[in-house]
Structures are given as C-alpha cells and as structure tokens.
Amino acid sequence: MRFKPSLGLTVALLIIGMLFAWLGSWQLDRQEEKQLLFDQFENAPSMAIEQALKRTDGFSRVEAYGHYDEQRHILLDNKILNGRVGVHVLTPFVLADGRMILINRGWLPLPPDRRELPPVDTDPAPRVISGIMKKPTIGGHRLGDPDVLVRDRWPQLITYLDLESVGSALETTLEPWLLQLDDDDPTGFGGRQWKAAVMEPQVHRAYALQWFSLMLATIIIWVTLGIRRGQQKNDQVNQSQK
C-alpha cells in the first residue's frame, strides 16, 4: 500500500482541518465561560438592593421595597414558552428612595394581532419584591429599524431592550440593571424559571464535538485520497513495466 497525497489537496485539507480544530477549541472556551456564568448565577450572593445597585457586574439576590408603575409597561417581544410566542413584561418599579428599576415579571402570550397587546394586571400598592439582579442582555446584530418609544402610549412592544430609550420614554434615568422576579412572587406571570443565559454550557460542548468530528472526517478524507492516489501511481508503474 502506497500513501501519496497530492500537495494541493494536503494544503487545502490542512487549512480546513485547522479551521475545524479552531472552531472546536473556541466552542470549548465558550463552554467554560458559560459554565462560569451559570455558576455565578446559581451562587449569586444575597445583599441589600442599595449595595447591589453599586456593583458594576455579576448577579445578586435582593429584596426591594417600593411600588410598581401601574400603567407604563414594556413588552419585550419574541419570547417563546412551551412553543407559544409571547412577551416578557418589564414593569418600572419605584424604590423607596425614588430611583427606578425595571422588573422582569415573566411571560404573557401575545395575540395574533399585535395591535392588541395583552393587558398587564398591576397593583400599584407599596410592597416588597424579591428576585435576582443582572445586567440587561445586549443583543448582537440587530435587524430592522430601532424601536421607537413614545411617552403617551402604554404598554409598548419592543424587540430589543435599550435602557436609555426606555428611560427617555419614561422621562427618567433607569438604574442599569434588570430584576428578574422570583417565581413565587404573586405579582408576576409565567415562565420565571430564570437561567444565566439562553444557551447552556452543554450546547457549546455539543457544537465542539461536531467541529472536532468534522476535523476527524477531514483527516480520514486526506488519508483515503492519499492511499487511492498512491494506488493509482503504483498501478501506473506496474503498467509501464509490462
């Protein structure tokens, strides 16, 4: 058996195999980063909300005293629960010192006609709420025009959360945090089994396995074609010697 791969094929498959290897390693790095994020979420420290608001990142478990804004709700679009399309209800919450923070109260179904937004039942009485504080997620590349918020029509449907735009519509400066309401709080809605991120670490591991499998397939193709080419060369030599 002769092994004689061509130079052009070797270079091409080497580049492709290295690319697959890099993508697999990158996914493993993403898995480690995501696992750290999930660990931080699961082990978020409990602290006073005044202390949590002074932080620059991370998660924290808090209780907050204040009251909901009864009318001015933000409905964050494209949230799926059990196969149904809906929204996350983000309601402003006025703290005892007058500062305002958005509360993610969970999921509500969205009617087929998006001109008719779901009613958001809200009691404005003073209360204590609890949940986990996190920085709002900043999405990647945004498709379409940015959301335009107005000050005199509520609730409003948005595709991407931009605290500055929301604060402008509310005529205030929002705290740069989002409080995800605990699942047992009666002022919330469905789907409050919060996670640190949508994509879990296991997904990145699965992607890494796919890329490394493609790298292995590239090696197998290179070896197979090299053996085939070597056999062809060997046959040609044998024919010429007859």
Residue 138: per-residue pLDDT: 64
Q: Where are the alpha helices (DSSP H) in the chain?
A: 7-42, 49-52, 163-170, 201-241
pLDDT of 199 reads 86
| pLDDT computed for residue 166 by the predictor | 92
Classify residue 113 by burial, with Cβ atoms within 10 Å: 0-12, 13-18, 19+: exposed
Cα of 10 vs its chain's centroid, Å: 39
The pLDDT of residue 114? 78
Quote the CA–CA distance of 149 and 219 in Å, as a whole number. Answer: 54
> According to the model, what pLDDT value does residue 169 have?
92
**Structural contact between residues 193 and 183, judged by C-beta atoms closer than 8 angstroms:** yes
The reported pLDDT for the residue numbered 1 is: 60
Delimit the domains of the chain by residue range.
7-37+201-241, 60-181
Q: How far is CA 204 from CA 27, 37, 138, in A?
A: 5, 13, 20
For the chain, 242 residues long, the average pLDDT of each consecutive 10-residue run is 78 93 96 93 93 92 96 93 93 95 95 84 95 81 67 90 91 94 95 89 95 95 83 65 60
* pLDDT recorded at residue 228: 82
Q: What pTM did the predictor assign? A: 0.81
Q: Give me the amino acid identity at 100.
A: M
Residue pair 79/110 in contact (Cβ under 8 Å)? The answer is no
